[in-house]
Chain A
Amino acid sequence: MTESFDLLIVGVGGQGTILASNIIGEACILEKRSVRSAETHGMAQRGGSVETHIRIDGIYGPLISPGGADLIISFDLLEALRYRHFLKEGGIIVSASGIVVPVSAFQNNLEIPSEEWILSRLEDVNLIKVDAEKAAREAGSILSQNVVMLGAASHYLPLKKETLLEAVKMLVPKKTVEVNEKAFILGFERSEQTK
């Protein structure tokens, strides 16, 4: 049976998960590989928790079952914890180190999850942490955090770095190609350092 490489991209609505998944999908087309993905739409842009399933070399349905993901890319540390049960044993999480605190926490006076608390609950996971915000600022735009994360995750994706970069250039707005290229490279380097 054909086995796919199963990737979950998670984050908060508005962080650019769909663009990130489009870049991976386009890279699959460039490498002439089959791909299946499923996205969260609509209400997601309103700050909710979002997930995109991507199955590289997938030939069946787009959904990954819990415990089946080879890799999780998370744009928010809290969301990495929320979706960790999707990770396969021995899988990897590449996560941004920032936390967007849910409004529900402020409104209902819940305990605000700290980085230490989240990390302690991810101790048994192979976690690569990236300061995506810092790298994106360095690249020239805070909006390029999603591409920083792709660069960081590219070490663990079964796609060529060059293909991913080509897909980035194809899909980001024309004016921002340079910034995003830089963001990808910075992400690639930062993630390498923490290994």
Chain B
Amino acid sequence: MATQYMLGNEAIAHACCEADLDFASGYPGTPSSEVIDTLRFQKERDFYIEWSVNEKVALENALGASWTGVRCLVTMKHVGLNVAADPLMTSGYTGVRGGLVILSADDPFAHSSQNEQDSRIYAKFAGILCLDPSNLQEAHDMMKQAYGLSEEFSLPVLFRPTTRICHSKSDVKIDKCGQEHRKGSFEKDPSQYVVIPVHTRILHKKLDEKQASLAKRLVESGYNFCEVRGKTAVITSGIAAEYVKEIIPEDVSFAKIGAYPIDSEWLKGFVSKHEKVLVVEELSPVVEEEVRQAAVKTTVFGKKDGCVPYEGELDPERTALAFEKAGFKHSKNYPHPVPAEGLPPRPPILCAGCGHRATFYAMKKVFGKSAVYPSDIGCYTLGIQLGTVDTTICMGASITVGSGISHSGDESDVVCTIGDSTFLHTGIQGLLNAVYNGANMTVVILDNRITAMTGHQPNPNTGLTAKGETSPSISLETICRACGASFVETINPYDLTSMLNTFKSAKSTKGVKVVISRQPCVIASRKQGIKRRHYTVNPDACIGCRACVRFGCPAIEFRDEKSSINELCSGCGVCSDICPKGAIIPEGN
């Protein structure tokens, strides 16, 4: 036993090692990515590990491995679970042999996500159990026990931390990593693993029959816990339980839901001992709906009557406000100070020297303001600040949304952008479909050779596996041609002139044109020791026209009617090409 200061995702990864993990797969997505990243950077690793091309692929890989009897982990974020929903919905029917834990990290307040959906609903939908930790120690302990629970009920376990679990740190007690590993062996059993209707009808019934004993087991396990202290009660779940504990008075009863399905008899027993119950949880009213069903004479407060917000994340202050709205007393005073106004905002921006910025600049120069620019999920979504991101909905949707617009009768140029990892995730099908069905659009693949936004995980385009072993990198050009595209051009975003020429020729060609803009991510290049000469502004030549400022690079500043370049410069040199007066030159010239 040792105590370490750990990130939630690190504690979760360590728990998997303590539980003798044999197989791990996943697709990166903030806030879940560091789980696989921690596992793959382990010095002594004796389990299989991969970054899969998408979440459906990751889950199916893990499900297959679990059927051979090995312990498996698959990780993703809430929106990734949508991609994996197809196998998920049937995985409860087939069940598992080796423990299978599906980690899906939720993101209340959408810190880095396109929506605020609740993974707990998926677990209910699929009829599998769900573990919902409220702090880091519990996240660690639950994850370790999850494999045993999965094997006990032959069901996948959905493990659902939220951002404030994944990306918070605390002192965590950990144990030694396990030494016992299994070797998979598949035993044929079509009645279990082939879900033709005649098998499915039986499997569905079996799954339903497991539910009652499962709910009871979760109460016995202590995950669903209650303490009667008075006539009013607060029922809570996840990280909200910590906020509640911080402010709850001693004479108010407390219940915490750490696992689903909730045993309805147990819940009814607790609720009926109280006159008033407040349910405090983030995202959807999952617990609240069950509490309302269980309540006979008890008054229930929560999201449905406006005491707890549906949107955003909670914190101690917002939890206290929910108490006040429900007429509950709490034990703290919050001063509600007002933030300073009138400050220039500081949103995240594309890095100095990022190839995406230069590509966006050239695209806009050639296709203009009237073109429609569908985009996708990645660093490049920040291109919204440059006016080249008109739509973003989910992974892979730039090409498909773009082809829809192109077939709609809208005569604008359609120029969509997608990253290399996202293209491999779900972009290929979109391209195949767009070419085959005769869309008229330009597809720009922003190829920085890595999955940058989530922390530089390798993908099949990087030429490295999750283990760090080299592997032949795929050819985006060949894939695009194989999808039927005849116009496939590769450009270097640091070469403005040739980029403008390629976009002009794409603009004048009919059909689906693919432009691959390739330049390694600047952060990844810097880590690899690649250095370029910085640029500087000759103040005598600078006329203060702001052309370079509009480029939006954080290395370019503007004071006293002149531009200057700061130490963030990574030496891409694109601003030098943009300057109409040749005032931007390499340092030392």
Contact = CB atoms under 8 A, between A and B. Distances in A.
B573 to A, nearest CB: 19
Contacts of B553: 103
Contacts of B94: none
Contact of B453 (A42, A81, A107): A42
A177 interface: no
Contacts of A103: 349, 552-554
B4 A82 contact: no
Contact of A42 (B4, B112, B351): B112
B345 A46 contact: no
How extensive is the interface on chain A, given as a class?
35 or more
B315 A65 contact: yes
A34 B173 CA distance: 11
A39 B164 CA distance: 8
A48 B453 contact: no
A38 interface: yes
A113 B343 contact: yes
Contact of B346 (A22, A32, A49, A89): A49
A68 B345 CA distance: 23
Contacts of A112: 344, 559
B168 A39 contact: yes
A121 B3 CA distance: 42
Contact of A67 (B112, B336, B349, B557): B336
B170 A107 contact: no
B30 interface: yes
Interface in A64-102: 65-68, 78-79, 81-82, 84-87, 89, 101-102
The residue in A60, A65, A82 that gathers the most chain B C-beta atoms within 10 A of its C-beta is A65
B53 interface: no
Interface in A22-39: 22, 25-26, 28-29, 32-39
B170 A63 contact: no
A26 to B, nearest CB: 5
A105 B346 CA distance: 9
Q: Is the interface of B mostly helix, strand, loop or mixed?
A: loop
B349 A121 contact: no
Given A42-B112, A42-B455, A43-B348, A60 B168 contact: no
Contacts of B344: 78, 101-102, 104-105, 110-113
Contacts of A86: 337
B556 interface: yes
Given A103-B349, A104-B345, A42 B169 contact: no
Contacts of B243: 60-61, 63
A42 to B, nearest CB: 4
A19 interface: no
A22 B351 contact: no
A13 interface: yes
A29 B5 contact: yes
B346 A48 contact: yes
A22 B5 contact: yes
A61 B164 contact: yes
A81 B346 CA distance: 13
Interface residues of B, number: 56
B171 A35 contact: yes
Contacts of B31: 41-42
B5 A25 contact: yes
B409 interface: no
Contacts of A12: 346
A62 B552 contact: no
Contacts of B335: 66-67, 89
B138 interface: no
Interface string B225-260: 000000000000001001101100000000000000
The residue in A47, A60, A79, A106 that gathers the most chain B C-beta atoms within 10 A of its C-beta is A106
Nearest to A65: B317
B169 A61 contact: no
Contacts of B347: 48-49, 104
Nearest to A58: B170
Contacts of B556: 106
B294 interface: no
Interface in B312-360: 315-317, 331, 334-340, 343-351
A106 B557 contact: yes
Contact of A81 (B343, B351, B379, B554): B343
- 10 A-B pairs with least C-beta separation: A48-B348, A61-B242, A65-B317, A67-B335, A25-B5, A60-B246, A49-B346, A43-B348, A42-B30, A85-B337
6 contacts: A39-B168, A41-B167, A47-B351, A67-B334, A112-B344, A121-B340
Given A61-B246, A66-B334, 16 more contacts: A29-B4, A35-B170, A36-B169, A40-B111, A42-B112, A47-B351, A60-B242, A60-B246, A61-B239, A62-B168, A82-B343, A84-B340, A102-B346, A104-B344, A106-B549, A107-B385
Interface of B: 3-5, 7, 30-31, 111-112, 135, 164, 167-171, 239, 242-243, 245-246, 315-317, 331, 334-340, 343-351, 379, 382, 385, 453-455, 523, 549-550, 552-554, 556-559
